[in-house]
């Protein structure tokens, strides 16, 4: 039924694979032949084009600043929002390490928030409760945790599904909290009003890692309607230098002189990567359609089955991930981890999103957290398997994933 490799086994279906074509190859060659590889006109054009794409439907115009990773972008956005020692960042436990560790870079503390029931997204009620406790001078949780001023919240648009940003923003305004959207999974994703993720808070941070919906291999983008915030991010991403200095080696009219006005970082995005991103941006609509088709095939196959629940979705979902939630009736017979092993034996690459941060040794020890503190995040972790969703998957590969899941059951 499927093409066999030399060893007699079916050729594996990888969990993720970038969709790279001749246009991306030509763009890289153009930069290589230009004689200039690091940040210059390609990165600047990528910023303008990315912002223009968002501004087609954004409720307010944003500007963009390209960086070398979403982690860098979160760090810079938090710094620009004034996060510092003595402050607390409110972060979902059900997310990747970057969402929390960047707050610690700045000497702040992290208070985790659980998922909402039957959801992978921030629990709005728990967010409000934690913000209120901190505003009253209490610890983040009744059992303890950090205390201090709640300075920022980082809602994570998990898998490309938008958080309820109306509710997040309302609570944040009430308690004087800045809102930084972790939109690493969310390009292009939209709320119910058709406004793009990343433009709904004080700042949004996108990822262009190799597995993301738009890739530059490594890279990210910070966007904001707050011009001062973007100016700060742009300053701090390149050593705190007071002006753009990339052209001092290539332009006869550019001055060699510059001044360091802040202790900044080395977070700029090189042209060779930005060139890939510009091509990917042009085909973003087609890439989204391909992911939506794959997810629709999974939805059709796994809806109303007694062994699983399909992920929540919406018309504006970027479909970056397809987290299939296994029901207890199946897990009692075979654990989630055993399911992963068996699917890999069948040649299906799968993953787990995410391992809750409160279970990680560092955070567990730092804040004296224990199993059961964030039950919805733990339940999602124990039951979820992320299936392959990447543009370029053939119908045969999609069918093979589906058939393998049924074979497992």
Asked if pLDDT for residue 270 goes beyond 60, the answer is yes
The three-state secondary structure class of 73 is helix
For the chain, counts of helices (H) and of strands (E): 14, 10
What pLDDT was estimated at residue 220? 98
Q: Report pLDDT for 403.
A: 97
Provide the CATH topology of domain 285-408: 3.90.1150
**What is the share, in percent, of the chain residues with pLDDT greater than 90?**
91
pLDDT digit string, tens, across residues 373-398: 999 999 999 999 999 999 999 999 99
CB 201 within 8 A of CB 191: no
Dihedral of alpha carbons 274, 276, 281, 287, sign = negative
Q: Which CATH number fits domain 22-283: 3.40.630.30, 3.40.640.10, 3.30.300.130, 3.30.750.24?
A: 3.40.640.10
Out of 60-74, 80-94, 134-148, 234-248, least confident range: 234-248
CA gap 385, 271 in Å, rounded? 36
Q: How many CB atoms lie within 10 A of CB 263?
A: 8
What is the reported pLDDT for 339? Answer: 96
Is 70 exceeded by the pLDDT of residue 62?
A: yes
Confidence at residue 2, expressed as pLDDT on a 0 to 100 scale:
38
User: Between 109 and 35, where is the model more confident?
Assistant: 109
**In the prediction, which pLDDT does 246 show?**
67
- Tokens 């409000």 locate to 128
The predicted pLDDT at position 244 comes to 76
pLDDT at residue 340 in the model: 97
Give the whole-angstrom CA distance, residue 277 versus residue 64: 14
The pLDDT confidence band at residue 1, using thresholds 50, 70 and 90, is very low
Q: What is the pLDDT of residue 243?
A: 77
Mean pLDDT of all residues belonging to the chain: 95
Kindly report, residue by residue over 11-46, the tens digit of the pLDDT: 999 999 999 999 999 999 999 999 989 999 999 999
* Residue 60 CB coordination number (10 Å): 11
Is residue 248's pLDDT more than 80?
no
Q: How does pLDDT run across 189-243, given as a tens digit for each residue?
A: 999 999 999 999 999 999 999 999 999 999 999 999 999 999 999 999 999 998 7
Q: Which of 38-42, 78-82, 96-100, 254-258 is predicted least confidently?
A: 254-258
Percent of the chain topping pLDDT 70: 95
Domain boundaries, the chain: 22-283, 285-408
User: Starting from the edge strand earliest in sequence, which strands make up the sheet with 384-387, in order?
Assistant: 308-309, 322-326, 384-387
Q: What is the DSSP string of 284-317?
A: HHHHHHHHHHHHHHHHHHHTT-TTEEPPP--TT-
Active site residues: 212
pLDDT of residue 90 exceeding 50, the answer is yes
Residue 110 has pLDDT above 60, yes or no: yes
């Amino acid at each position: 039924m499927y093409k066999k490799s030399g060893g007699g086994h079916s050729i594996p279906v990888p969990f993720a694979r970038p969709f790279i074509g001749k246009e991306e190859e030509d763009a890289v060659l153009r930069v290589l032949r230009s004689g200039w590889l690091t940040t210059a006109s390609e990165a600047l054009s990528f910023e303008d084009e990315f912002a223009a794409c968002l501004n087609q439907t954004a409720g307010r115009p944003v500007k963009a600043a390209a960086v070398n990773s979403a982690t860098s972008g979160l760090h810079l956005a938090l710094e620009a929002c004034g996060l510092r020692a003595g402050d607390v960042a409110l972060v979902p436990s059900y997310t990747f390490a970057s969402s929390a560790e960047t707050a610690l870079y700045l000497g702040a503390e992290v208070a985790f928030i659980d998922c909402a029931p039957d959801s992978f997204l921030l629990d709005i009620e728990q967010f409000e409760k934690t913000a209120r406790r901190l505003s009253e001078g209490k610890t983040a949780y009744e059992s303890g945790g950090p205390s201090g001023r709640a300075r920022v919240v980082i809602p994570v648009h998990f898998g490309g599904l938008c958080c309820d940003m109306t509710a997040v923003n309302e609570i944040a305004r009430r308690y004087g909290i800045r809102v930084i959207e972790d939109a690493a999974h969310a390009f292009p994703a939209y709320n119910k009003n058709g406004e793009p993720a990343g433009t709904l808070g004080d700042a949004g941070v996108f990822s262009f890692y190799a597995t993301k919906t738009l890739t530059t291999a490594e890279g990210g983008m910070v966007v904001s309607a707050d011009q001062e915030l973007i100016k700060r991010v742009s300053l701090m991403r390149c050593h705190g230098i007071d002006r753009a200095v990339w052209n001092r080696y290539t332009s006869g009219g550019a001055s060699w002189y510059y001044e360091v006005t802040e202790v900044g970082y080395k977070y700029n995005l090189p042209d060779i990567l930005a060139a890939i991103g510009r091509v990917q941006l042009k085909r973003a609509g087609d890439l989204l359609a391909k992911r939506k088709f794959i997810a629709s095939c999974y939805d059709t196959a796994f809806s109303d089955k007694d062994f699983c629940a399909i992920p929540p979705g919406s018309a504006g979902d970027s479909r970056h991930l397809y987290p299939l939630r296994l029901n207890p009736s199946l897990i009692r017979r075979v654990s989630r981890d055993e399911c992963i092993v068996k699917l890999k034996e069948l040649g299906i690459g799968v993953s787990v999103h995410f391992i809750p941060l409160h279970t990680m040794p560092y955070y567990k020890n730092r804040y004296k957290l224990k199993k059961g503190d964030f039950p919805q995040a733990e339940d999602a972790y124990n039951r979820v398997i992320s299936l392959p969703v990447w543009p370029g998957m053939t119908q045969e590969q999609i069918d093979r994933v589906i058939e393998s899941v049924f074979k497992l059951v």
